[in-house]
Amino acid sequence: MRKKEIEEALNIPLTKEQFIREVETLVRRDEMGYAEAIIHICQERGFDPEDITSFITKPLKEKLKIEAINNNIIRSKKSNTAKLV
C-alpha cells in the first residue's frame, strides 16, 4: 500500500506541504496545468475548491497567474508574455 493510500484509509488530513507536493507532481508527471491539478486533487479527495484557498501559497498563486496569462484567461499587466519556469 502506498503512503497516500494509507493516509486516505486512516483519514489523515492533507497538509499544505502535501497539497503543494501533489500539485507539483501532477503538473510534472501527468503534464496537467496547475488549475487542473488543483481541481483533480479536490475531486479525488472530496474537497470543495473554495475550502482549500488557504493551501494556495504565494508561489503557487503566481504559477496559476502565469498559466492563466499564457492561456489567455487573464490579461498581463505587462506587454511581455509571462513564462512558467
Secondary structure element (H or E) that encloses residue 32, with its range: none
Of 38 and 80, the structure prediction assigns the larger pLDDT to: 38
What CA–CA distance (Å, rounded) separates 51 from 39? 12
pLDDT (tens digit per residue) in 24-51: 999 999 999 999 999 999 999 888 889 8
Please give the pLDDT value at position 28. 96
19 residue type, one letter = F
pTM, to two decimals: 0.75
Mean pLDDT, to the nearest integer, of 58-73?
Answer: 94
Please give the pLDDT value at position 22. 94
Q: How much of the chain, in percent, has pLDDT values that exceed 90?
A: 52
